[in-house]
Amino acid sequence: MADTLTPAQRSERMSRIRSSNTKPELALRKAAHKLGLRYTLRNNDLPGKPDMVFRRSRVVVFVHGCFWHRHENCKVANLPKSNTAFWEEKFERNVMRDARNDEQLRALGWQVEVLWECELTSTKLANAAQKLRSIVKSGQKIRVRP
C-alpha cells in the first residue's frame, strides 16, 4: 500500500513527534511527584538520557512509546503497511540501542526500569506510579544520623 501523504505532509507529521515531555511521561511525573518521589529529568551524562533519574536510590526510568520501542504483544506496536523494510530496520535499531543503553547503565550500577506508554493510561497510571514508588523506596539508601 502506498503512502497517502505527500513527502512534505509526511515530514510535517513526523516533525511533531516528541522525544520528551510526552503525555505518558508527564502523567507519570505528576503521579510520582504526588507520591513524594523526587527526581531529575533527562540526565545527559547517562547512557540513553533516562526520562527520570532517582539519584539516591540509583534508579533510572525510561518511558517508552509502544510503537517506537516495540512493546511485545501490544496492539499499538504494529508495523506500518508501506515501506516495511525501512520500518523493520528502524525498529530493530531502536531495540538494539535500548538494550545497549540498559547494559551500560547496569554496568555503571544503575537499576533500569522501563514503563510502557500503554501502562500509563489514566486507568493504569496509579498502579504504575505505586510500582515505581516501591522500586525507588526499596533501593533508597538509609541515612544514619550521627
Domain boundaries, given as residue ranges, for the chain: 17-38+51-139
- Of the candidate ranges 1-5, 82-86, 126-130, the one whose mean pLDDT is the lowest: 1-5
Specify the CATH number of the domain 17-38+51-139.
3.40.960.10
Q: Identity (one letter) of the amino acid at 124?
A: K
- Phi, psi for residue 121 in degrees, rounded to 5: -70, 165
pLDDT of residue 108: 92
Model pTM score: 0.79
Stronger pLDDT, 15 or 48, i.e. the higher one:
48
Residue spans of alpha helices (H) in the chain: 7-15, 23-34, 66-69, 84-107, 125-139
